[in-house]
A and B are shown apart, each in its own frame.
Chain A
Amino acid sequence: MAAIAAAGATFDPPDYEIVDFAIPEPLTDNPPDPFRGWQIVRDAGNASCLICHPMPIPEEPNHGNIAPDLTGVGERYTEGELRLRLVDPKALNPNTIMPSYFQLEGLNRVEEEYVGQTIYSAQDVEDVVAYLMTLRSPD
């Protein structure tokens, strides 16, 4: 589980277009895999969602609580809006603590083993977005 996002990931240079506060086009041509996305969001070894966000994953202990609850997030945002929020949330709020998962610009003193790498690969982003779109309100 720990290496799920990093294993064999290729780090495509970020290339995307922001339109109306969203990234409407997918970052890859491959069909997204929401099941793989569900595995990635739990992966504490890769700076993933559960570290900061409560999520509807009750079987996993110790959710973070510094960031909004992602329950129902697939109803609150479009796919393109969620994609921008993963790729570069600082495009929406420059002061946010949320990392930009697919962005290399403006970083300071990156640890040597991560230089030139995005946190997620393009496919990771697509798989996580596909998983988040499955999250609906409990009722």
Chain B
Amino acid sequence: MTFRAQLGWFGLALALFAGEIALAQPWDPADLEVDGRRSGYLYLTDQTQALQDDDFLNPGMFAVDEGRAVWNTPAGEAGLACADCHGDAEDTMVGVAARYPRYDAERGGIINLELMINRERVERMDAEPLDYESADLLALTTYIAHQSRGLPLDVDVSGPAAPFFELGEDFFYERRGQLDISCAQCHEALDGRLLRGDVISQGQINGFPFFRLIWASMGSTHRMFQWCNEAVRAEPYPYGSDEYLNLELYLAWRGRGLPIETPAVRR
């Protein structure tokens, strides 16, 4: 082999290696800001960004793997696994998380991925619903949302969803708690500034479920809402409550066009 040919092979190998790295980040960092809407990723330290970027280091990828196992494991009296009806999630679930939460006629309100999974378990699999924030429900939600990684958030807030969207918006702007502070006062007006050592982000939810370093675990949007409410000493709402579902819809719209990052890593 001539030296020139060796150089060619080396170049090809390098290109493949670079392609492999790019797989872990299916977006350009420039895509993480859309018309002023900024992913929480952009407020992270370089070290935390690096942790999210590398699928071999990202601790949320364990939840993806666990979720794949849950997807393929039969549960309940019907003896069915998710995969028995839905096949390979890597084909059938692409784009689903980008449309959630959504209006649901059966509930007469908003449904999110977690509640939709549990409805399927109860109605199709004849299984017990998974506890909100249980490892299995977080893993399955993470696995499904991960299939949309890189796709833009695109929820429907029109028609029957509109009144619920407006309730979510009201929640975002309403002062609450002993500290009497609204979501908007920090996440709309002060992003990029510091509360003690913490950088305030816009509170975008395009990376959920996410791995939160200070929890050392995965967490859902509703767990984060509870944490935020308690930070201003406000009484939190329950997981899966209408108040949080409406807020989740509003926030998904507020981050419209941002690529899904699940599993994001955040402080």
Contact = CB atoms under 8 A, between A and B. Distances in A.
A47 B179 contact: yes
B177 A110 contact: yes
Given A109-B234, A110-B233, A110-B235, A99 B180 contact: yes
Contacts, number: 70
Interface residues of A, number: 25
Contacts of B230: 111
B168 to A, nearest CB: 16
A25 B233 CA distance: 29
A110 B196 contact: no
Given A97-B185, A112-B235, A107 B177 contact: yes
A7 interface: no
Interface string A51-66: 1100000000111111
Contacts of B174: 108
A61 B190 CA distance: 20
Give the dominant DSSP class at B's interface.
loop
Interface in A100-123: 100, 106-112, 114, 117, 119
B196 A100 contact: no
Contact of A62 (B181, B189, B190, B197): B197
Contacts of A112: 235
A63 B235 CA distance: 27
A50 B194 CA distance: 10
B267 interface: no
Interface in B164-219: 174-181, 185-186, 189-190, 193-197, 200
- Of the listed residues B177, B186, B197, B233, the one surrounded by the most CB atoms of chain A closer than 10 A to its CB is B233
B196 A44 contact: yes
Contacts of B176: 108-109
B235 A62 contact: no
Given A99-B178, A108-B234, A110-B235, 17 more contacts: A44-B196, A51-B195, A62-B196, A66-B195, A97-B190, A100-B180, A107-B177, A107-B180, A108-B180, A109-B176, A109-B235, A110-B233, A110-B234, A111-B178, A111-B229, A111-B230, A111-B233
Which 6 pairs from chain A and chain B are nearest by CB?
A62-B197, A114-B178, A99-B179, A66-B193, A111-B233, A65-B194
